[in-house]
Amino acid sequence: MKTNFDIEKFIENGSITNELDLERAMIADRKLRLLSKDNLHFKNLRTKLRNLIADYESREWSDLEAITDEKIIESDKSELFAERERIFLENRKQQIRKQLKSLDLTQENLGAILGHKSKTHMSELMNGIKPFTLKDLIIINRLLKIDIKELIPLFLSREDQIKINSAVVKLNKPQIKLQKEDLLFN
């Protein structure tokens, strides 16, 4: 089980299909800008990602007459959610680094413990370019004594909230509701 989005999945799919993924891709582009200076893999990844961003923006935002208030609201909400994810990932990275330092371990040491042989792969995980697996995060929780709430995002995207609420309505179970903290966009 993956715990968040995977930038390489965008590229593999060949397109960005919604505003949230666009916002995530733009955040990833900024991260990759820094990483790509020293690494050809990240540079190639960034080039492909930037092409997908340009394609989506051309397809969805080039016709000014077709841009509705609802589309702008969706874009704004997606931007807020993606920023929330970015902050979460940055805080998680800092927590992990702090604990590694206190134990005199390196990111590379953690990669070896988790069974990740590549420094690049570990960098991708730490920087949110690729998602940690749930197993990775449980190991980090137990090994580094970081609260699991600091490692696993406990918030849901608007899209997931809508799907869940629709399923609950279909079940006709009004007593089942998402907790208030999960209702970011309501």
Based on the fold, state whether residues 144 and 171 are members of the same structural domain. no
Tally of domains within the chain: 2
Based on the fold, state whether residues 112 and 160 are members of the same structural domain. no
Based on the fold, state whether residues 43 and 112 are members of the same structural domain. yes
Query: pTM of the full predicted structure?
Result: 0.84
Based on the fold, state whether residues 60 and 127 are members of the same structural domain. yes
Residuewise pLDDT in 10s, the chain (186 residues): 344 667 777 788 888 999 999 999 999 999 889 888 888 988 999 999 999 999 999 999 999 998 999 999 999 999 999 999 999 999 999 999 999 999 999 999 999 999 998 888 899 899 988 899 999 999 999 999 999 999 998 888 777 888 888 888 899 888 888 876 544 444
Is 125 among the domain residues? yes
**Dihedral sign computed on CA atoms, order 18, 13, 3, 50:** negative
Based on the fold, state whether residues 35 and 56 are members of the same structural domain. yes
Those residues with Cβ within 8 angstroms of residue 139's Cβ, 6 or more apart along the chain or in another chain: 113, 114
Based on the fold, state whether residues 119 and 174 are members of the same structural domain. no
Segments forming the whole domain that contains residue 13: 7-154
Cβ-count burial 33-70 (b if 16+ within 10 Å, e if not): eebbeeeeebeebbebbeebbeebeeebeeeeeeeeee
Based on the fold, state whether residues 22 and 83 are members of the same structural domain. yes
DSSP conformational letter for 131: P
Is 2 among the domain residues? no
Report the distance separating Cα 158 and Cα 77, nearest Å. 8
